[in-house]
Amino acid sequence: MVRRIVDGMSRGLHLDTYLLAFDTRAQSLEDRTRAGFLVRAAALAELAERGAVVEGGAGRVEVVSAEATDDRVLDGVLAELAGRPRRWKSWIRRGRDETLEAVEQRLAMLGVVTMADRDPYGPVVAQRAVAMVDPREALDLQVRVAEVARGGSPVDGVGFGDAVLVALAAHGRVRLVLSGKERKANAERIAAFTERVGERAPGLAKAVGGLGLTMVAAQGGMGGS
């Protein structure tokens, strides 16, 4: 598994996905809007993996266990899912900015990143500056996921978490992990990993596979769920 233990705590898919999208040279996210979609999708995948949510009728997400997960990010998303039933794609689009900021706060609490304090007398800014404490946290993960995507081990021997990370990096077009050329060269393998996401929920795999179009549609103000 790609996931590690940080200060005795398991670092989940949603936190690892943030690191995949973090440019250590620039000390910032490669694309903040894109990262919001990705961490939101990762949180949904993790809740599905834990068995907290399932895919119900008409492909809508249903909460089957509202017990606390010991992760405030996942608990926040789970509380949202308990409301009106929606499809996976809709839940990926909704609340993504709040989930992204919650992920940053969680990583700061774990000591993985630092966040600049807000200046109460300064101008209002959309988000605080975030810096990686040890860039290797992100770099090692990006290299590891790229290696999994390019081959070296059978797809069916790769864990669910790793499959999700590869699918998100590929369909989310995270260039820090895979270039466009590499995505094309490994298209069949990426498709197989995306299918693995469907082991927990077929609709989630479809939503992850369509992330590129979903991001374009959302940024262009197009509707649909």
Mean pLDDT for all residues in the chain: 88
The one-letter amino acid code at 157 reads G
When computed from its CA atoms, the radius of gyration of the chain, rounded to whole angstroms, is 17
* Segment 157-173 mean pLDDT: 96
Q: Which residue has the tokens 């390019």?
A: 150
Percent of the chain with pLDDT over 90: 76
Buried b (16+ CB within 10 A) or exposed e, 53-68: bebeeebbbebeeeee
The 3-state DSSP class for residue 41 equals helix
For residue 3, pLDDT over 50 is answered with: no
CB atoms < 10 A from the CB of 7, how many? 9
**Position 181 confidence tier, pLDDT thresholds 50, 70, 90:** very high
CA gap 170, 150 in Å, rounded: 11
For residue 89, pLDDT over 80 is answered with: yes
For residue 107, give both structure tokens.
Answer: 């990583």
**Position 127 confidence tier, pLDDT thresholds 50, 70, 90:** low
The 3-state DSSP class for residue 142 equals helix
User: Each residue of 19-43: pLDDT tens digit?
Assistant: 999 999 999 999 999 999 999 999 9
- According to CATH, what is the number of the domain 5-219? 1.10.3630.10
Q: Which residue has the higher pLDDT, 153 or 139?
A: 139
Residue ranges of domains in the chain: 5-219
Q: Give the pLDDT score at 84.
A: 86
Pick from 3, 33, 1: nearest CA to 17: 3
CA gap 112, 1 in Å, rounded: 19
- Sign for the pseudo-dihedral over CA of 169, 3, 193, 71: negative
Q: Which residue has the tokens 């007398």?
A: 121
For residue 197, pLDDT over 60 is answered with: yes
The 3-state DSSP class for residue 119 equals coil
Number of helices (H) and strands (E) in the chain: give both, helices first. Answer: 11, 8
Q: Percent helix, strand and coil across the chain, each rounded to 5?
A: 55, 10, 35
Q: What are phi and psi of 62, to 5 degrees?
A: -125, 135
The string of DSSP codes covering 59-74 is GBEEES-----S-HHH
Q: What are phi and psi of 9, to 5 degrees?
A: -120, 145
